[in-house]
Structure 1
Amino acid sequence: MSAEDHGPAYAVAATVTDPELPVLTLAELGILREVRDVDDAVVVSITPTYSGCPAMAQMRADLTDALRAAGYATVEVRTVLHPPWTTDWISETGRRKLAAAGIAPPGPARTEAVVLPLAAPPSRVRCPRCGCPDTVEISRFSGTACKALRRCPNCVEPFEHLKEI
């Protein structure tokens, strides 16, 4: 289903990029949950990638600005916490864009309970540049808490990996 199939307000909201991963839209990242007309307002529902995500305020502002610029005078952005976001919600297009930007996309999310999912090491991460499956974690955290810094022993390039949640 395309953004246009959801309606014009959704199509606008679906173009807003993530402030921490600007190669992806909020829709591709799976954060954009719903956009609907309620009375004279547009109500947008988004789910943070994890509780306490510092980018939520910027996402709200960017969604509001984009929808107002498109002619929607009243915009309300709601945070939806249930069900919690998972990296499984990233679209195939989003995964391709991450890899093209040199960021290894996440594998399938873990289904077992993990106390600190952002601290759990991934099983194997392929290099987004050369495809080598045996990369090495340099740092558990990178530019954001949801990414790790890795290095490829084959092409010797460092890259970020969006962790499975």
Structure 2
Amino acid sequence: MVTLTPTQAAWRIAAAVPDPEVPVLTIEDLGVLRAVEVDGTRVHVDITPTYSGCPAMDTIRDDVVLALTAAGFDEVEVRLVLSPAWTTDWMTDAGKTKLAEYGIAPPSGRAAVSTGPIRVSLSVRCPRCGSLDTREVSHFGSTSCKALFECRACLEPFDHFKVH
């Protein structure tokens, strides 16, 4: 039997909190959960929004506090960390798979870096039928971190999680 440290246990609890906008993802899948530190019965959790001003952060904070206090931690402080800025590179592979299975095209490629070539996405694969014959309808979808696309093959609209 593996015994977890208090920090490992607190991380697992916080990591299991679902994203309120895409409930098939956890905040760990999304890469929003950045750090967890335990000092006695006090827990400090750092989260980074997918973009500044993300309206889901208050709900995520409240859900993390609720989950950790329900697990027996007396005091929970959730800090919003804006630097470094969140990037889709922080999403887990499992999270990207869950997005596709949920009907949202996951980000493809990696965020731009200061050295080397910048990848350009020529098309976005439809998460329903797999076709590459798609077009962007609106740069902003159901949330600011997603774009609205339409598949020309199956004629279904779908969200695409933008690379950033």
Q: TM-score scaled to structure 2, two decimals?
A: 0.87
Matched, 1:138 2:112: no
Residue 122 of structure 1: how far off its partner (Å): 5.3
Kept in 2: contact 1:44–1:78 (CA 8 A): yes
1:154 has 2:135 as partner: no
Residue 142 of structure 1 and its aligned partner are, at CA, apart by 1.6
Alignment check: 8 A CA contact 1:87 1:108 kept: no
Q: State the Cα distance separating 1:125 from its structure 2 match.
A: 0.6
Aligned length: 156
Letter of the structure 2 residue corresponding to residue 137 of structure 1: E
**SS state at 2:149 partner:** strand
In 2: Cα distance, 1:6 partner to 1:89 partner: 21
The equivalent residue for 1:23 is 24
Structure 2 CA distance for aligned equivalents of residues 110 and 142 of structure 1: 19
Task: Give the direction of change, closer, same or farther, for the CA distance of 1:84–1:70 in structure 2 (3 Å limit).
Answer: same
Residues 27/156 of structure 1: CA separation in 2 closer, same or farther (3 Å cut)? same
Give the Å deviation of 1:110.
Answer: 3.6
RMSD: 2.1
Residues 41-94 of structure 1: CA distance to partner in whole angstroms, max 9, x if unpaired? 011011111111111111100100111111111000011222211011110000
Structure 2 residues not aligned, in runs of 5+? 115-119
| Per-residue deviation, 1:21 | 1.4
Q: 1:84: which partner in 2?
A: 85
Shift in Å, 1:20: 1.1
- Distance in 1, matches of 2:66 and 2:52, equals 24
Whether the aligned pair in 1 keeps the contact of 2:134 and 2:149 (CA below 8 Å) is yes
Q: Decide whether the 8 Å contact of 1:122 with 1:163 is kept in 2.
A: no
